[in-house]
Amino acid sequence: MSSVRIIVAAAAGLCAASALAVPKPGYYHPSSVQVGTKTRIVMGGDVVWGVQGAWISGTGAKVTRMVAVPGQPRSPGKTQIPWVLNWMYDILEDKPIVKKEPHRKLPPEALVEETDWQECNWWHFQEEHDNLQLQTIARFIFTPEFYPQATPALDHLIILDVEVAPDAPPGRRDIILYDGNSASAPHPFYITREPHVAEPFFVIPPRGFPRNPLSISLHLPPDIKPQKLPIHLDGQIWPGEVDTYTLRLEEGQQLVCSLVGRELFPYLGDAVPGFFNPVLRLYDSRGHEVAFADDFYYLPDPVLTYKVPMDGFYQLKIHDNLYRGGPNFVYTVFCRDAKTDRPVYTPKERAFDCYPQPAAFIPPKPNSSSNLIVRTGSIDMPGRKDRHFFEIKDPGTWHFELYARREGSPLDGVLKLYGPMGKLPLSVAPLLQTWDDSPGRLFEVKNVGSADLPIIKTNMLYEGSIPQAECDPSGTWTFKEPGKYCVTVSDRAALGGEHYDYTLCISPAEPSFEVFSLSSACRVNGGSARFKACVLRKDGFDGTISFDSTSDYDVSGTFDGDELETDVSISFKSKWTGLRRLDLWASGELPDGRKLRVRVTPTDPGEQAFAYSHLLPAHGFYFGVSDGNICERDKHGPQLGLKKKTSHSNGQSCATCHKKDAKHTKGKSCTECHKNKN
């Protein structure tokens, strides 16, 4: 195993970076939109009180308007909720009185000093809301405060108006929120060409529906008509919920339903209630299950395939494998006919499309001046073992690395080194070393406190968002004599198939390094942006590393000597607005005088159990310049005019001394008869 000089100073840097008050989006619903449409989507997350706008990566899509949903009181007055709901139903039923009232007059019980009503303009100006905004009120009211698996980190809502041009390229995008100083980590989002059906954010129950402790109204069955292929389906899974869609299929169609769920939120710090592990089930018109899918090779999101034997209506059911759920258990399902519309079907395509690849995950390419040996192959049948022979001319240390999972292959590789071969067959050649899996890149345990009050910080596993990337084996071996050697490649479970491809790299071990940014999206203010970066030094590299500038921007920041973390500043030479995706590079001089240039891997820190920090790779390095504040907030002042409650008659309230049938309460409030009595 190559020696790795582990980052020490990054512990404090990661702690500080994760402590910044940057917007933290948790989910978007729906998670995909159709080209040529204007769609309203809901974002749930945390630290969004200062959000001013949002960027969408790529071309042809933009956020035109945002509405911040204010907090709603959890302990309203006993008469307040019925009043709010009655007002809402009057609006939904379009009663004539609504058209005559620009704002419904508050009842007398809401204005007295001893009221238990709570201020909430989102409730008291419902006539200004559209249906989606009313849904946010209804979901809050009908969802119990301590509903199973609820989390306050997802309670803050923002509604985004997304406009997509007819010629916008389909595929994966990133949404980035920004405030006055910072930008959120990119969040995946999809644009599609096919028709699109989204489950409502909340189905408002009919008037008079009970609010019980575990209200079944959390998601009433939506009115969704049978859909023809191709179609894209969006929804949310709540605890115990099973979403059902009706598909109209024709004989001979090759149905492929590809779900994207876990990939929409690949990392969750403490995984409470856990990662979304979706399941797809298909039922025919008689209610018989005809197809089932859970996972796709090693990827957690399923792909269901089914050859349709006859015309009819089929039901597609979606749920979590343990029937967990929550607001961030969102999904989008791509339902297509493989005969006419080829889906993203191979594990390599799915992995590359959904999961970012760090710079170190890309196999190197050989050149005439290096001793690098690159071999490609495929374990195309179960039990197969590939053999690769090579010559060692001089004693020395060599590095072996297999790229499989990191290239989207389901191969769980094992490397075995034999030799020297001489004239011996492989069956009797000496086995020198076996490599199975690679440990995650670990940051050294560091005391970020003091000697008297130690605070231990452990940072580990920067590829935490890549499913099972550690399955790719790697290691080093010191050869003491020249000769012919052999390394074999096989699958750990003796599996194989058409997608089990790999790339094997063999090279002399030499000092090297990797560079990571501690944020993947930055807001540019005044033509410049700042971020922190850290370096992973390998095989004894201790030289100076600097960032490369270009004709479009200057980058300042270096790692000198043993320095493992630095502040980086980037200054742009021209003015622009919107979002740009850049590749940043860093260079250092090797001991033999050669220059090593590596691509900087953009990452975002993630905290786990208040102790472990993960660096999560991102799809790109984004820099954004704001073109204005498009986020609307409550424009009304307090409506109830509540004052601090006064007491009289030995601390008792007016209502205790004067029952509702008292004469002085007819047409008057207590405060009109009793002015601050003590």
- Is the pLDDT confidence value at 553 over 90? yes
672 domain-assigned = yes
15 domain-assigned = no
Same domain, 305 and 383: no
33 domain-assigned = no
Range of the domain at 654: 648-678
Instruction: Give the residue with greater pLDDT, 169 vs 667.
Output: 169
331 domain-assigned = yes
- Is the pLDDT confidence value at 636 over 50? yes
210 domain-assigned = no
pLDDT attached to residue 641: 59
Same domain, 496 and 519: no
- Which range scores top for mean pLDDT: 10-24, 211-225, 263-277, 379-393? 379-393
Q: How far apart are CA 321 and CA 299, in angstroms?
A: 14
- Is the pLDDT confidence value at 9 over 50? no
397 domain-assigned = yes
406 domain-assigned = yes
DSSP 3-state of 300: coil
Which residues neighbour 88 within 8 Å (Cβ) at sequence distance 6 or greater?
Answer: 126, 134, 137, 138, 204
Which residues neighbour 108 within 8 Å (Cβ) at sequence distance 6 or greater?
Answer: 669
Same domain, 524 and 587: yes
Task: Please state whether the peptide bond connecting residue 482 to the residue before it is cis, i.e. omega within 30 degrees of 0.
Answer: no
**517-530 pLDDT per residue, tens:** 989 999 999 999 99
Same domain, 503 and 443: yes
- End residue of a domain, out of 454, 477, 510: 510
Cβ atoms of residues 67 and 631 within 8 Å: yes
Question: Residue 272 — very low, low, confident or very high, per pLDDT cuts 50/70/90?
Answer: low
**Backbone dihedral region for residue 326 (phi beyond 0: left; psi -120 to 50: alpha; all else: beta):** left
pLDDT attached to residue 14: 42
pLDDT attached to residue 578: 92
pLDDT attached to residue 297: 86
- Structure pTM? 0.83
pLDDT attached to residue 678: 38
Instruction: Give the residue with greater pLDDT, 28 vs 421.
Output: 28
Which residues neighbour 302 within 8 Å (Cβ) at sequence distance 6 or greater?
Answer: 259, 278, 279, 280, 293, 294, 295, 296
363 domain-assigned = no
Same domain, 430 and 471: yes
Same domain, 261 and 310: yes
- Is the pLDDT confidence value at 85 over 80? yes
**618-633 pLDDT per residue, tens:** 888 999 999 889 898 8
Same domain, 506 and 408: yes
- Choose among 215, 201, 204, 222: nearest CA to 88: 204
Q: How far apart are CA 228 and CA 561, in angstroms?
A: 63
Strands 585-589 and 545-547: antiparallel
Same domain, 377 and 497: yes
**185-207 pLDDT per residue, tens:** 999 889 999 899 999 898 888 88
pLDDT attached to residue 647: 45
Same domain, 448 and 527: no
- Residue 491 tokens, joined: 């699958």
Same domain, 319 and 224: yes
Same domain, 281 and 409: no
| CATH assignment at residue 503 | 2.60.120.380
Question: Residue 644 — very low, low, confident or very high, per pLDDT cuts 50/70/90?
Answer: very low
Q: What percent of the chain has pLDDT over 70?
A: 75
Lowest-confidence region among 4-8, 325-329, 392-396, 663-667:
4-8
Same domain, 499 and 419: yes
pLDDT attached to residue 2: 41
- End residue of a domain, out of 510, 538, 568: 510
pLDDT attached to residue 649: 45
Question: Residue 37 — very low, low, confident or very high, per pLDDT cuts 50/70/90?
Answer: very high
Cβ atoms of residues 647 and 678 within 8 Å: yes
pLDDT attached to residue 635: 75
Instruction: Give the residue with greater pLDDT, 649 vs 87.
Output: 87
**Taking residues 364-371, what's their average pLDDT?**
68
CA 327 to chain centre: 13
Report the number of distinct structural domains present in the chain: 4
**Taking residues 375-400, what's their average pLDDT?**
93
